[in-house]
Chain A
């Protein structure tokens, strides 16, 4: 099954290769990996999309957590989460098909990023499903180039206020929990 794992990591050189090296060294599948800074400049967020059975995913999460530079591991697949991906696609568009292509792209909410004599560059950000669907439609025409940004994700906003701390006993398990 596909899992999206979000990591908070130290913003050091070499952290990316520690993470990707874990996957390549142990033969785990890595579908996409994105990284960028967070509101705290010393911390980066990485979003990994990986595929594996429950046992493999369990190992991946535990081994990621064992890496000293990894501050936090969250499996977003188990939570209410939001996923977005950015794509740019250059489609061949000669005078006869041009308006049809633009109309189709518009239906997906894609915008024109650049236009030339024989091609158009669209950009679209949306859920991975939307991006996938858009690319399938564009493939009906001739795609010259395509650049996908990889999935970024985060937990959704909480729909209810947090109960006040004093009224509820702590339910968070200790760090000794087997994660």
Chain B
């Protein structure tokens, strides 16, 4: 059996059903093995970055390991943004890259790049396979490391002559890696200590993050919240663990967190943080973060303990495993005044979509999505579209929220949505995008059309790179430097609003979608929102772009200015 055949045997042993990829000279042998294989579906994307993001969306939405194959040199370098995105958000991927034959490595061969060197710091682990006899073990280890502990992407760089080298067909059944023993269970005495602190607290608060999705902790956490009555806030990545409609769920914290969530963190006396890493966008000024609280920190990565926020009780373990041990130790708390306070904050400053007289409101569009697509998988690009999606879509289920939280990758949402759609053919998948970010991987329209993936892309078209423009408006005296997407060479530098001289469309997203064989709809009035969404709902064999002409200068509020404490929010009014 040659190396390529052994890899494919390994993929099947790992129950892979879908591979995203893009061929090239160095990976011809493995694509040849995949040709006419009835068990493995190969999705040809239009760019390697799209392939990795699609595998990422597939992995986040299904909980399985996502798989992609790219060629050497530019194939591998194009994959890097996808790898870094997945690495930051702990998404399990196995990415196989071709490499030039072993006897040509180091000779500046055509399409040679030091893939292992380039990807070392943006993967959980990576390999350059130097011996055909190592190949089976490496593939087995890659799947094991990708999917266990704190998950992450693994890159396997395979020289072309190893794909073609004949050797044994053994694919190992188990792995033994001396240096890899992720902690899972958490220490009993620390869990006991956490339970005591939680029980004694007068103003306790749960703070949940992406680790809750990864560990599958939603059910046990919901039971704990029901049992104790303790309110919950979430990071961007933790949305979907608690039903948005619950009165004890206060929403997201941080730079664009809700008033109630940010105030609750600031006033809490016990913060039980689970599956979070206290990212700077969530904490704001760390010296003002939860200043009155004892912190219980549950996370599988020991390096998150005490990194940004001091943990009084650090518990290194898998969120689900630790919560299962914590559950019997907790009882119904008597929290009357605290619950009144958090409910009061919720009523005092609810999230209200920004309104506009002559344009659509982005918030209204997303709010309408709740009516037409209440159980969708939502992906986003990065920027205002991402924050509005987190504010106004009502998440109810785990693994229905795909967003690049850590790396903040524009261009993530559309290919991720395609991957999620392929992994979840019975669900509706919607990418909430901006007119800037959708153009970063728009070539994947071809992938979606040919895969008959009925992904819906809601483009909130404001003609700007909206989030940067918002910062320029707030902190740079409205100097909209390089953020206007309609700016022509002859435009004045100090322009701050669209006028008659602006090009009407750049691009015309409706015609662009149609040119790929997708459906394009453009709306600009509130009464068009519902019919457009209903029309898209009826289209089940091709993607639909819904271009929404929204208020050019709509801003995301609340906003915590950079460097401030999260209780120091700025509001629109």
Question: Which residues does A use to contact B, with CB under 8 Å?
Answer: 9-10, 13-14, 17-18, 21, 25, 55, 58-59, 62-63, 65-72, 173-179
Give bound CA distance, A58 to B306, whole Å: 9
Report B-chain residues with C-beta under 8 Å of the C-beta of A59: 303, 307
In the complex, the answer to whether A21 meets B316 with C-beta atoms within 8 Å is: no
Give bound CA distance, A68 to B120, whole Å: 12
Q: Mark B306-338, 1 if CB is under 8 A from A, else 0.
A: 110000001011000000000000000000000
Does residue B488 face the partner (Cβ distance < 8 Å to A)?
A: no
In the complex, the answer to whether B177 meets A176 with C-beta atoms within 8 Å is: no
Give bound CA distance, A68 to B146, whole Å: 11
In the complex, the answer to whether A69 meets B179 with C-beta atoms within 8 Å is: yes
**A68 touching B179 in the complex, CB below 8 Å, given contacts A62-B303, A176-B186:** yes
Does residue B286 face the partner (Cβ distance < 8 Å to A)?
A: no
In the complex, the answer to whether A178 meets B180 with C-beta atoms within 8 Å is: no
Q: How far is the CB of A44 from chain B (nearest CB, A)?
A: 12
In the complex, the answer to whether A66 meets B120 with C-beta atoms within 8 Å is: no
Give bound CA distance, A179 to B120, whole Å: 24
Does residue B479 face the partner (Cβ distance < 8 Å to A)?
A: no
How many residues of B sit at the interface, in one of the four size bands? 20 to 34
Q: How far is the CB of B95 from chain A (nearest CB, A)?
A: 16
Does residue B425 face the partner (Cβ distance < 8 Å to A)?
A: no
In the complex, the answer to whether B187 meets A66 with C-beta atoms within 8 Å is: no
Report which of A17, A62, A68, A179 forms a contact with B180, defined as CB distance below 8 A. Answer: A68
Among A13, A55, A67, A68, the most chain B Cβ lie within 10 Å of the Cβ of A68
Give bound CA distance, A9 to B316, whole Å: 23
Give bound CA distance, A149 to B227, whole Å: 61
Report B-chain residues with C-beta under 8 Å of the C-beta of A174: 187
Does residue B130 face the partner (Cβ distance < 8 Å to A)?
A: yes
Q: How far is the CB of A27 from chain B (nearest CB, A)?
A: 13
Q: How far is the CB of A89 from chain B (nearest CB, A)?
A: 35
Does residue B498 face the partner (Cβ distance < 8 Å to A)?
A: no
Q: Mark B86-121, 1 if CB is under 8 A from A, else 0.
A: 000000000000000000000000000000110011
Does residue B185 face the partner (Cβ distance < 8 Å to A)?
A: yes
Report B-chain residues with C-beta under 8 Å of the C-beta of A14: 116-117, 120, 128
Report which of A71, A173, A175 forms a contact with B179, defined as CB distance below 8 A. Answer: A71
Residue of A nearest to B304 (CB): A62
Q: How far is the CB of B26 from chain A (nearest CB, A)?
A: 19
Give bound CA distance, A9 to B180, whole Å: 11
In the complex, the answer to whether B121 meets A63 with C-beta atoms within 8 Å is: no
Residue of B nearest to A63 (CB): B303
Residue of A nearest to B302 (CB): A62
In the complex, the answer to whether A17 meets B117 with C-beta atoms within 8 Å is: yes
**A9 touching B179 in the complex, CB below 8 Å, given contacts A63-B303, A176-B186, A176-B317:** yes
Among B177, B179, B306, the most chain A Cβ lie within 10 Å of the Cβ of B179
Give bound CA distance, A173 to B183, whole Å: 12
Does residue B125 face the partner (Cβ distance < 8 Å to A)?
A: yes
In the complex, the answer to whether A68 meets B302 with C-beta atoms within 8 Å is: no
**A25 touching B116 in the complex, CB below 8 Å, given contacts A68-B177, A71-B179:** no
Q: How far is the CB of B489 from chain A (nearest CB, A)?
A: 40
Residue of A nearest to B297 (CB): A178
Residue of A nearest to B125 (CB): A68
Report B-chain residues with C-beta under 8 Å of the C-beta of A67: 179
7 shortest A-B CB distances, which residue pairs?
Answer: A62-B303, A71-B179, A68-B125, A176-B183, A71-B178, A62-B302, A68-B180
In the complex, the answer to whether B178 meets A10 with C-beta atoms within 8 Å is: yes
Residue of A nearest to B179 (CB): A71
In the complex, the answer to whether A178 meets B316 with C-beta atoms within 8 Å is: yes
